[in-house]
Amino acid sequence: MLLIPAIDIKDNKCVRLLRGDYSTAHQVAEDAVEAAKSFRKCGADWVHVVDLDGAKDGMPKNSELIFRIQKESGLKLEVGGGIRSMDTIEYYLSNGISRVILGSVSVDNPAFVREAVKKYDDRIVVGIDAKNGMVAQNGWLKTSNVNYLDLAKEMEQAGVKYIIFTDINLDGTLSGPNLDMLDELNHAVSCNIIASGGVANMKDIVNLLDLDIYGAICGKAIYSGSLNLQSAIRFCKRRETNGI
């Protein structure tokens, strides 16, 4: 399982939110670039970066900092937040970003996702963020009437290879991921599922490994110290090597 540390950016600062509530934003690292460098020293290959301002406003807002993270950390970046046009996708990918995450647009314009996947293949990731099973949009400020499984199946038909699933009710709570929803999703589609939200400790990592989840994004657990990133990455690699 791929462990992916997270950096959320608001007003050019590395922050965390509780359940996606922008009013709960608090700075968790002095410098986002240095945080990314520390993740690489722990053995990470990827970092998950979200432009929170971009997600709310529908366009990139912190891209200069994101490009600095990519250039100075040596990590591969998957980036989300406000990516709703082919121009924005090209903007990020042509500047060294490895994968871009499409969120709200997957509900509003699935044809756009199909077009993006046709052009960029597995460099397109779809983020499905759900509240009580229903997909949220616009930086989680609005909830749609679309069920998360229905959207996942539609994205699978569009050719999407990677889906990041977040249970908003658990995000930033350190109370464990929603294993039931993740297991259901993992069996419903052939896409690689990346779990996000609620991961707190090694027990959660083991539980996700047991579900055969492709990847897990860890944010607050790393910053709070409840999860040792280096140990967790080593554990996942040992499990993969031993085929357990």
59-77 pLDDT, tens digit per residue, is 999 999 999 999 999 999 9
The ranges assigned to domains in the chain are 2-242
**Which residue out of 8, 51, 167, 171 is catalytically annotated?**
8
Please write the tens of the pLDDT for every residue from 81-96. 999 999 999 999 999 9
Work out the pLDDT band at 139, boundaries 50, 70, 90. low
171 is catalytic: no
**Which residue out of 129, 167, 171, 204 is catalytically annotated?**
129
Q: Give the pLDDT of residue 243.
A: 66
**80 class by beta-carbon count within 10 Å (0-12 exposed, 13-18 middle, 19+ buried):** buried
pTM value surpassing 0.85: yes
Q: Give the pLDDT of residue 86.
A: 97
Integer Cα distance of 4 and 139 in angstroms: 20
Distances (CA, A) of 108 to 102, 111, 244: 11, 9, 40
Work out the pLDDT band at 198, boundaries 50, 70, 90. very high
51 is catalytic: no
Q: Give the pLDDT of residue 142.
A: 62
CB atoms within 10 A of CB 228: 15
Integer Cα distance of 180 and 198 in angstroms: 13
Integer Cα distance of 217 and 75 in angstroms: 15
The residue behind tokens 């989680």 is 140
Average the pLDDT over each of 129-133, 193-197, 203-207, 215-219 and give the range with the smallest value: 129-133
Class (C level, CATH) for 2-242: alpha beta
Q: Give the pLDDT of residue 104.
A: 82
With b for 16 or more beta-carbon neighbours within 10 A and e for fewer, the 44-62 pattern comes to bebbbbbbbbbbbebbbbb
The residue behind tokens 């400790």 is 201
Q: Give the pLDDT of residue 244.
A: 56
Which residue type sits at 193? I
Work out the pLDDT band at 58, boundaries 50, 70, 90. confident
Work out the pLDDT band at 20, boundaries 50, 70, 90. confident
